[in-house]
Chain A
Amino acid sequence: MMPADKLARMVLANATRSPKHFILSAFGIVIGIGAFVFFLAGTLGISDVLLGKVFPLDQVEVIAPHTSIAGKNLSQRMNADTVALIKSRKEVKEALPRMTLQFPATGFGKFEGQEIKFEVGGFTDGIPDVYVADDPKLVGVFKDWEANGDTSAIGPACVPNTPNNCPDKAWQYCDESDNMCHKRVPVIISQTVLELYNTQVADSHGLPHIGVMEQFIAERGRERMHFWMGLGSTMMAGSNVAIDPNKHREIGAILVGVSPKARRVGLTIPIGYVERWNRTFVGEKAAGEYSSIIVTLKDKDKLATFAQWLQDEPKLKLEDQLGSSFATAIFVIRLVLIGIAFTILLISVINIAHNFFMQVSERRREIGVLRAVGATRQDVLWIILGESAIIGVVSGLIGSLLAFLASLAVDWLLNNVVGKFPFKPDTLFRFEWWEFALALGLSIVFCVLGGLLPALRASRLEPATALAAN
């Protein structure tokens, strides 16, 4: 068999000696690989935006089907037993409850010099702090400072309704209920809320846009993220809930960050606060009722099994997952687009095979000479396959480069021509090293596939017959 270095030199020299043949063979593969990389990076980028920001999807949420008769909510209630039952399922890795604030509350304060006021009751829920343990920016910040009656975070004494006279002005406020400094209640919001603020509120109210929340906090200081929660009060006219005015209480809160774990519209705080406040304002039962249960499955493929069990046994259901619908849609779109790219590649394979058949026919005498001076059938096979592989390498590189350039052009149009829209990303594409490696590999495989039959035919030529060719 021919030594590898000599084979490589001969293949390179052969592949470059006929630019016309090279371009004819490479053209289709370049287009196919370009389309493949472009579509793959495009669908990955779009799914990052849709599933990463618009519809975060790494857990499913279990809710009770809504039932009401004569205006009375008769929906099934979920409590600690429901959580335990769900946890007992073998396909479930973790089940964490969410609890909604079940009484009126308002949010108010100053933001960028403007008085702001918004409804909190019904738009706020609580989650266990372990639910955000995967976000280093929230660990140690998003926590229930007074969990299980812990008073270590309370103090010293202070005078309420005066400028903050607590030692840690960023994190503490003076609570009028006991004239003591308390840790502010940490609040997180979703990317959806941030986008709604940026696109619907900021411009119309002359407020600043917030790009990256952490950067905004760092630039303006923690104290600019303060606001108050008025428990028991409401902005809504016609509220039927009568709260004992003596129970009204104003709590200091602080916005600590943006998280996909926060409720899509509203505020999210540690669940301990919601439990205690529900107990105080509504009663013991409300302190044990969960609005939903967040379930992490061991395997996403077990979702259908789990959903069926939910319906059959505890008569619960999964919250409508727009995210999963989008995930399915994007997956199907990706398959269709990659299918198109593969179709182009397959047509290119036929084109390459045709070109190489012509080449083999034109080079019969050359193949005969090679056999006469000592080339084996295998040598001839490797020479032709090597030439097709070279076309694959070059086509893969050019196709990937074209796809990348096309993505830059699309992103430029997105940023300079297309107007603002919610969740507008800086790029619609996600390029990973493996996409290019895959493209290069596919390009080589398809080209070699195209060269295979002509190479076999060339290797089977009898030298005497080949030399007799005109």
Chain B
Amino acid sequence: MAPVISLRDITKSYGTGAARTQVLRGVSLDIEPGELVALVGQSGSGKSTLLNIVGGLDKADGGDVTVLDHNYQRTPERELARLRNTSIGFVFQAFNLLDHLTCLDNVTLSAAFAAGGKDAPNRGREALDRVGLAQYAGRFTSELSGGQKQRVAIARALFARPKLLLCDEPTGNLDSATGAEVIEFFQKLNKDDGVTLVIVTHERRVSNIAQRVIAMRDGNIVEGAEAAAATPGADFGGPA
């Protein structure tokens, strides 16, 4: 079976001239379907940039990115947007919910960019139910706690029933109890639904449940590029 994510020699830099910073220095990586991968490393190691490139939120300067059988270099922008709309879910550290919308409207936001979807409200409620917030469907997100907001964000990511879930520090803004619940939810999602998860994290708890831990340093993968090469619970650097 083809890998869900296949990266070959990815480079990325920001800025120009003297201010130019090389963030990724030829990263190559395969992630198989159904894997739960923790992407770890110190701040500035390039893990969030790598996640954004995999999600099509940012563009690599060089190299080959293939995700869910779509080679990004050859895929038009519209098709990439459709891929994000239907097959890739995102969970961010800052939740990124739209405060002027209700929880249900946040969850079903992606339906606005796809044809059909008359059942979107029902599917949205189902997604909220999965994260235990069905009763909050009509509330505005500004009325929720941090943990509840992240659960709504997860419901939004799950709304389209994605094959790949990309999470950038999903527990970074949560207390430890709520963070544990979220981690547990991800583990269950991976096990029960077979969703491939890539989680950028500093937390040992996350790496403990990961099937593979990929460690990055200075724009390179230093550990875990190959499947089963890493050991859960390895040392991943300090918090950002």
Contacts and interface: CB of A to CB of B under 8 A. Distances in A.
Interface of A: 1-3, 6, 9-10, 13, 17, 365-366, 368-379, 462-465, 467
Given A2-B113, A462-B58, A464-B52, A371 B96 contact: no
Given A374-B110, A374-B114, A369 B100 contact: no
B192 to A, nearest CB: 23
Q: Which 8 A-B pairs have the closest CB atoms?
A: A374-B85, A464-B58, A373-B110, A463-B57, A374-B113, A464-B52, A464-B57, A376-B81
Nearest to B101: A13
B149 to A, nearest CB: 13
A368 to B, nearest CB: 7
Given A3-B115, A369-B109, A370-B109, A377 B77 contact: yes
B186 interface: no
- Most chain A CB within 10 A, of B49, B52, B81, is at B81
Contacts, number: 71
Nearest to B59: A462
Contacts of B85: 373-374
Contacts of B49: 464
Contacts of B115: 3
B222 interface: no
12 contacts: A3-B114, A3-B115, A6-B112, A366-B98, A370-B109, A371-B84, A372-B57, A372-B96, A376-B78, A379-B113, A463-B58, A464-B58
B86 A467 contact: no
Interface string B87-113: 000101000111010000000011111
Interface of B: 49, 52, 55-59, 77-78, 81-82, 84-86, 90, 92, 96-98, 100, 109-115, 156
Given A3-B115, A369-B109, A467-B96, A374 B86 contact: yes
Contacts of A373: 84-85, 90, 109-110, 113, 156
Interface of A is mostly: helix
Contacts of B92: 467
Nearest to A465: B58
Contacts of A13: 100
A102 to B, nearest CB: 85
Nearest to A6: B112
A372 B113 contact: no
Nearest to A463: B57
B116 to A, nearest CB: 8
B43 to A, nearest CB: 14
Contacts of B100: 13, 17
Contacts of B98: 366, 369
A112 B51 CA distance: 99
Given A373-B156, A376-B81, A462 B57 contact: yes
Given A9-B112, A369-B96, A373-B85, 11 more contacts: A2-B112, A6-B113, A368-B57, A369-B97, A372-B90, A374-B86, A375-B81, A379-B81, A462-B57, A464-B49, A467-B57
Nearest to A375: B113
Contacts of A3: 114-115
A368 B90 CA distance: 12
B54 to A, nearest CB: 11
B96 A368 contact: yes
A13 B156 CA distance: 20
Contacts of B96: 365, 368-369, 372, 467
A240 to B, nearest CB: 93
Contacts of B55: 372
B117 to A, nearest CB: 8
